[in-house]
Amino acid sequence: MAEGFLKKKLLDKLGEGAREIHVSSAGTAGIIGGKASFHAIEVMREKGIDIIRHISRPLNRSILKAADIIFTLTETQGDEILALYPDNDGKFFLFGECDIRDPIGLSKEEYR
C-alpha cells in the first residue's frame, strides 16, 4: 500500500517526471511472491490506486544499497533494519507522521 501511495503522490506532484523515480517496497517479514491482500486492493482502488499486480519481496542488503531514501512504517522498524545494516544510516525516514501498524489479517476498516 505504501508503495502505491508514494507513486501516486509523486505522480500528482511531479507529473510525468515522477516516472523517472524508481519506487519499490520490500518487507521485513513478508512472504516472497505474496500478493496484496483483498482488503488492501479494495481500499487502494477506492483511492484510485491499482496494486493488484503487487508481489511482495523480502528486504535485503542489495535493495538497501541501491536506495537513496528508505521509508519505514514504524520507528522501531527503522531501528531494527539499521541494526542489521548499519551502513545505511541517514537514509531512513518515517513514512507518515506517526507509526503505521500493519493491518494484515484485520478488517477492511483497519486498512483504511
pLDDT for 73 equals 92
Q: Where are the domains of the chain?
A: 2-111
Q: Does domain 2-111 have CATH number 3.40.50.2300?
A: yes
User: Do the Cβ atoms of 26 and 39 come closer than 8 Å?
Assistant: no
Per-residue pLDDT of the chain (112 residues; tens, 9 = 90+): 999 999 999 999 999 888 899 999 998 876 788 899 999 999 999 999 999 999 999 999 999 999 999 999 999 998 999 999 998 888 999 988 899 988 988 999 999 9
- The pTM score is 0.85
Give CA–CA dist 18/65, Å, rounded.
Answer: 21
Give CA–CA dist 90/70, Å, rounded.
Answer: 9
